Structure 1
């Protein structure tokens, strides 16, 4: 795979590049967030590995800008900032996985491999539609009744999962796994908060409700009967 590593600590960067190169990967390594953003939006990579505390443009801002540019390359945050809220924040801006330093190289390699095995965007549906709600996955655009709806990256991903599961109930645990890649309960209200924000944007301005709460179970997006 071709990998982009954005890490300003030279010792850590050299260690990562050496190990990944020995595993057969081609690595581009940069130490500045602005350079990382430029490379990610100009070149084609299979996976991006990014630290949060980098000069020029911090990791969170870099990833947010990458997603805003429509780049869907899987991104792994590799950072010493490892609190639950920090991990949630990293995933909300568009990260796909989060690994805290110090780390085992074998785990880093395995996570990169897992991200690289995800099907590319061109192998998936590029548009989703539920009633009058439409999502363009390539342009990362959402409209309802022709009106543009502005969503944050994690709100977009949450809506994407709900639209793909049209008519099926998605539990809180399922959403944590598919939207935030949590395989444990972080004991936060992140799902409920984002559902509320999403409902405000896709339902409240319109006469027909599409996003429904299934009491004590989860959430379901479906067209009116």
Structure 2
């Protein structure tokens, strides 16, 4: 292949990967953070203790986390077809990526939320603050550095998972590496894909660390 063709393929695959990880990352944040919050507030000693609900949520989250991503990709093909209309392509890959990322990020966010100083919560309660006040004014603001750091880790994990989605025709850099780098023995394509993935991961981690440090009130 000529250099222009390789560059064109790399450019298209790069943006496919950005689309997959960006969309699934956003959905994992929108759904996973409230789920992590629910795990914290309904736990024993939480501000809205509900043992039964907490156990059900915990089982669901851990159940999905226990399934290897490659198996989840295949198992969710019927659901992906139902939602997107096809099980192949970049947009279709967003479904399993999102479902894999939501429980992962929920547990990461839960850890950050649990680390919030209990004394702050008790102080707001003593001043007459209700549950929503505690969540809005204490839990989320105080846990924000950890929430951002955890989301960064989730995004980095999604970049790797999006490359794996190429094994079932999900598009992106992983698909390019398999079709050209592996199946057609285009070593230069494989090397280029690896370099781009490393730069993506490094850039994401750098941005996440900087934002987390800025939000840290300590």
Q: With the length of structure 2 as denominator, give the TM-score of the two structures.
A: 0.27
Whose Rg is larger? 2
Q: Which has the higher strand share?
A: 1
The structure showing larger relative contact order (alpha-carbon pairs under 8 Å, at least 6 residues apart) is: 2
Q: With the length of structure 1 as denominator, give the TM-score of the two structures.
A: 0.26
Q: Which has the higher helix share?
A: 2
